[in-house]
Amino acid sequence: MKRRNFIKNATLSTAGLAVGSTIASCAESNSEEKKTTSTSMASLPLVIATWHVTESTAKAMEVLQAGGNALDAVEQGCMIEEANEKGQSVGKGGLPDRDGNVTLDACIMDKNGNCGAVVYLQNITHAVSVARKVMEDTPHVMLAGEGAKQFAISKGFQPEDLLTDASKAAWEKWKIEAKYKPIINIENHDTIGMLAIDKNGDISGACTTSGLAYKMGGRVGDSPIIGSGLFVDNEIGAAVATGLGEEVVKTVGSFLVVELMRQGKSPQEACEEAISRIVNKPNSDYKNFQVGYIAVNKQGETGSYSIHQWFSMTKFQDGVNEQIQSNYFNKTKE
């Protein structure tokens, strides 16, 4: 899978967007092409995730096939990428902020609407697991920064240096060449968002990221914000986002996708409508940033859509673990 530089130059005030790229296996149909899609219950269990993360979806499916629930599946699936030092957008090895600090954002949400999140977490690889502990072991939804780190340590997580030699070298190069102007991350994936339906038909989701490469110190994106980066409603379905978090937050994107499904839209139609809310804003600068959504409904139908090309979804269902190229809004050739 060849890496591609998706957008060469994007700015968000002083922060840059880490966007990724992947190669298609087949095109995800848009809503017009999708009219023939069956609405009958899909085969369960199933897992979908943002970008090309077949090892993560394989882990999640292993959990589900062993009778595990969707919550365990999404946590353990995300942990694979968090531990993958080669992935420079999640967990260990994530690209740092402009000051050289790796700071992680993550959240998790279960079938009962319980949720937990960590923001600006440092030195702990498995942010998604800390988010789960916040959900299960505290009366709160979100812990930030040093408090989140101390909480994690109190729960037995080992602090470690998350800045790998490769990410440190990339940061040092960025400092010289970009002169504090942001650049685009050329990765084959970015934020990992994962949604699963277990054998009981119950849905859970998780989202984990190191956020925008070379972001301002203290910056938090959409990924740990329930309703923006992730939303699960076990009656309706679930959605997760990747891309420029600020734009997702402004439209409360994942909640929007789920609510659109509640109103009768398919996951594909809902993802397309959520993207249209972004690109159709007055003076939208969408040509210079990426946002992508994936969604699943209670029937197990799935959808994915992005502003620009090269977003993809990984889907594991019926023994097939495949990368599916997402359809996208901006068809103009730059």
Q: Residue 11: which of 191, 214, 193, 307 has the closest Cα?
A: 214
Residue of 18, 71, 121, 230 interacting with ligand ASP (CB under 6 A): 18
Residue number, 63 or 74, with CB nearest to ligand ASP = 74
Residues 77-96, mask of contacts with ligand ASP (x by CB under 6 A): ------------x-------
Q: DSSP secondary-structure letter at 48?
A: E
Residue number, 232 or 244, with CB nearest to ligand ASP = 244
Q: What Cα–Cα distance (Å) separates residue 40 from each residue in 115, 201, 299, 301, 330?
A: 29, 13, 7, 9, 31
Residue number, 51 or 316, with CB nearest to ligand ASP = 51
Residue of 22, 84, 191, 326 interacting with ligand ASP (CB under 6 A): 191
Task: Give the number of C-alpha atoms closer than 13 A to the C-alpha of residue 305, restricted to the C-beta side.
Answer: 28
- Dist. CA 194–CA 55, nearest whole Å: 12
Residue of 80, 197, 212, 274 interacting with ligand ASP (CB under 6 A): 212
Vertex 196: Cα angle to 276 and 192 (nearest 5): 60
Alpha helices in 183-330 (DSSP H): 245-250, 253-262, 267-279
- Dist. CA 126–CA 91, nearest whole Å: 7
Q: Which stretch binds ligand ASP (CB under 6 A): 76-84, 159-167, 205-213, 262-270?
A: 205-213
Q: How far is the CB of 196 from ligand ASP (least distance, A)?
A: 19
Q: Which of residues 231-270 bind ligand ASP (CB under 6 A)?
A: 242-245
Task: Give the number of C-alpha atoms closer than 13 A to the C-alpha of residue 171, restricted to the C-beta side.
Answer: 22
Residue number, 63 or 212, with CB nearest to ligand ASP = 212
Q: How far is the CB of 191 from ligand ASP (least distance, A)?
A: 3
Q: Which of residues 279-318 bind ligand ASP (CB under 6 A)?
A: none
Q: Which of residues 166-185 bind ligand ASP (CB under 6 A)?
A: none
Q: What Cα–Cα distance (Å) separates residue 211 from each residue in 95, 142, 247, 261?
A: 8, 17, 13, 27
- Among residues 50, 57, 125, 191, the one annotated as catalytic is 191
Neighbours of 104 (CB within 10 A): 30
Number of residues that bind ligand ASP (CB under 6 A): 14
Alpha helices in 27-161 (DSSP H): 54-65, 70-83, 127-137, 145-154
Q: Which stretch binds ligand ASP (CB under 6 A): 116-124, 221-229, 232-240, 265-273?
A: 221-229
Residue indicated by tokens 């690109």:
279
Does residue 125 have an active-site annotation? no
Under rule CB under 6 A, residue 209 binds ligand ASP? yes
Q: How far is the CB of 318 from ligand ASP (least distance, A)?
A: 28
Q: How far is the CB of 198 from ligand ASP (least distance, A)?
A: 25
Q: Footprint of ligand ASP on this chain (CB under 6 A)?
A: 18, 89, 190-191, 209, 211-212, 221-223, 242-245
Catalytic residue numbers, as ranges: 191
